[in-house]
Amino acid sequence: MVAAVAALVWANSPWQHGYESLWQTRVSFGVAGHHLALDLRHWVNDGLMAVFFLVVGLEIKREVSAGHLAGRRAATLPVAAALGGMLVPALVYLAIAGRTAAHGWGVPMATDIALAVGVLALVGDRVPTSLRAFLLGLAVVDDIGAIVVIAVFYSTGVTFGWLAAGATAVLATLLVRRTGVQNMLVFLVIGGFLWFSLHEAGVHPTLSGVIMGLLAPMTPRRDRQGVPGVSTVVWLEHLIHPWTSFLIVPMFALANAGIEVSTHSLRVAWSSPIAWGVLLGLLAGKPVGVLLATWAAARSGVADRPPGANARHLLGAGNAAGIGFTVALFIAELAFRTDKTVNIEAVADAKMAILVASLISGVIAFVVLRRSGQVAASAANTADQIAVSPTDSE
């Protein structure tokens, strides 16, 4: 959040030319006769963000294997809530901006898992622990949906030769894993080749991080004395997570959140169907979709409401899911790109809406959840008073 504010200040300061000039600086790498030249912004978005999505892949693997998504009934409610929270925002966007820029429907589908769960952390013990598990499961499934959307709808001009090379890298990972090799350098080399193959194939290369995360084994990792410890998934997650949280995501925000905020840009965004589609998709579509899907799942009997959570808790969780930020900004960079051409105005309108909607959603979620905690505490106190008060006969 600090990096996003810094980007906004920088992009609207007297040094704004330096902001764009920095991120448009081209850097080239060459290996074995193959050269890859990208500007700094794309090295962050396509390169460093692959590490972010590696952590996402590890989180998905852990949650599905032994976490909140392990088991059909445990996973049903967050899966249903996530699907509703993706479908309704997309429909809201299409209803508003479908005729103008239908390709942007994927932008308001995304939830920023870190900031959404962070809002619950700010509320403290006013919300039940089950709600945190519910929101975490919802956000993880939401990430899976975003990954599928990026892979299927925002990858262009697929080259099947390089796609086959990427498949070879996946097979190599499986073979190396079966031999029990724990040297991370081997997997780093294979992952790098997978990234390059997907980039050359026309599939967004950040998916290489997700794939490698999902392929990480849940078997205990042995130390130098041969003593088994935590699983490789958990070990990698704890190893990499600080780097993504404190370096990569802030750098991504610094590179992408710097949009011009002026009377003219605000007037353009105010009249832009793209901005309104993204804004209302996140701000209204997310909580409505989460609530409707949760109600339907609980009413049908296929899932139970999180223990101790009431409708207001679920509404607050839905509002928190409206914090798009990182993944939404990421998809916005892809959604309005045609081959090598980017619709700069459309991206700016979408980013403006994402920042505003994420801020408002976060504030609303905090207020609703904080208030729900006070209501719950008041109800508990009333119940205690009734329990200890003397009866008329006494």
44-67 residue pLDDT tens? 988 999 999 899 889 888 888 877
Task: Give the pLDDT band (50/70/90) at residue 106.
Answer: very high
| pLDDT at residue 383 is higher than 70 | no
Between 310 and 286, the more confident residue is: 286
Q: 111: domain range?
A: 72-155+253-378
Domain at 92, CATH number: 1.20.1530.10
Task: Give the pLDDT band (50/70/90) at residue 68.
Answer: low
Q: Is residue 388 part of a domain?
A: no
Q: Is residue 23 part of a domain?
A: no
pLDDT confidence of residue 131: 87
What radius of gyration do the chain's Cα atoms show?
23
Task: Give the pLDDT band (50/70/90) at residue 388.
Answer: very low
Residue 360: how many other CB atoms lie within 10 Å? 16
Q: Is residue 304 part of a domain?
A: yes
- State percent of the chain over pLDDT 70: 90
Q: Is residue 49 part of a domain?
A: no
Total structural domains within the chain: 1
Supply the pTM of this predicted model. 0.78
Task: Give the pLDDT band (50/70/90) at residue 393.
Answer: very low
Backbone angles phi, psi at 37, to 5 degrees: -120, 120
Q: Is residue 14 part of a domain?
A: no
247-292 residue pLDDT tens? 999 999 999 888 888 888 888 888 999 999 999 999 999 999 999 9
Q: What is the mean pLDDT of the chain?
A: 86
pLDDT confidence of residue 203: 85
Q: Where do the H-state alpha helices sit in the chain?
A: 2-11, 16-23, 40-42, 49-66, 72-101, 113-123, 129-153, 160-178, 184-201, 207-215, 232-243, 249-256, 263-270, 273-280, 286-300, 311-321, 325-335, 344-388
